[in-house]
Structure formats: structure tokens, C-alpha cells
Amino acid sequence: MKTTRRRVQHFGYTLLELVTVIVVLVAISVGIGPKFFDTRGVEEFAFRDQFVSSAQFIQYQSMSRLSNTRCLFINFTTTSFGIMDGVDCNQAPSGSFNLKTGIDFEFLTSDVFPNVTLTTTMATSSYTIGGQQQTVAWLTFDKQGKPTLNCVNGCNITFTGDSTAKVCIEPQGYIHECT
């Protein structure tokens, strides 16, 4: 009589295999996880991208305006920037002014990016903003999209925090990130 062995099939994983997979997953999450949830070094680039977008908006508006009696300026301090509704496109803003809060100013303040500071190669002036005296740099463009007044030869804006992001505005009007 011939006996046949029945082959028993086991479905599933052994405890050793499960523990090994869990250990590998924990090791990967500990090593890589913080890189996905840490915002250090990202704020500067987000601030820079918002600035470029706002500057391009002002540039497009300047190229489509019909007269030089009213234009938009982008103004910035060391911690924030906003869009100002100017009076004369060929003259620097002076005295007190109100920033348009509906466009970008409320979003792009030191409250949103507390660790980022702005510096520029442009000339700055002292103005009263919201009742407080602040040092402000401003930027506007002519009808050809070229920067005017204090940025006519081109200028740079640097966003500094945990890392550094930089914007260059060329004399021809090209606005881009630079190194």
C-alpha cells in the first residue's frame, strides 16, 4: 500500500516576515517623514513666487493702462509687500498712502512668513503706512513693461530665512528668479 503525502498549503505570512516589514517601514518613516512635513526653507520660495506673480500683475496692468495719470505700484518693506494704487506713474509715491488689501497685502505679511525678510538693491524711502513710519521700496512699470524710476537699470530682491531666494528684474522688464 502506497501512502501519499498530502501537501498542506499555508496562506499568509509568518510573524517574522510581518515584524521585518514593520521595522523597515518605521525606519523609512523616521528618516524620510520629516522632510515631507518640514516647511523650513520653503517659505522664502513661496514668498518669492508670490512677489513675482504680483510684480507681473503690476507689469501687465501697466502695459494696458490708457494714461500716465494713474498706475499701480508694488511696495515692500523688510517683512511684507502690497499693491498700491498710485497717482502719477512718472513720480515716486510720497507721504501717506493706503495699500490695497484685497489683492495680496493681507496674505503676504510677516504673520504668514514670520521668518522671511526682504532686501533689495533698489532705493528705499520712508513713508507713513497705516499710521506707522516705515522704510519702503516701490516698483512700477512703463507702458512697455520696463521698470521705471528707482529700478530703471534693473534690480534684485532677496528673500532670506532658513535659505535664500532671489528675484531679478532686468532693465528690459524680464522678472525672474535668479541666483
How do residues 51-70 score in pLDDT, each as one tens digit?
898 889 889 988 887 776 67
pLDDT, one tens digit per residue, over 92-106 is 655 444 444 433 333
Ramachandran angles phi, psi of 159, nearest 5°: -110, 115
| CA dist., res. 95 & res. 126, Å (int) | 8
| CA dist., res. 25 & res. 60, Å (int) | 50
Q: How high is the mean pLDDT of the chain?
A: 76
pTM: 0.66
Whether the predicted pLDDT of 42 surpasses 50? yes
**What is the domain extent for residue 94?**
43-178
Under the banding of pLDDT at 50, 70 and 90, the label for residue 50 is: confident
For residue 29, is it within any domain? no
CA separation, residue 14 to residues 3, 4, 8, 18 (Å): 30, 27, 15, 7
CATH code of the domain covering residue 89:
3.55.40.10
What is the number of structural domains in the chain? 1
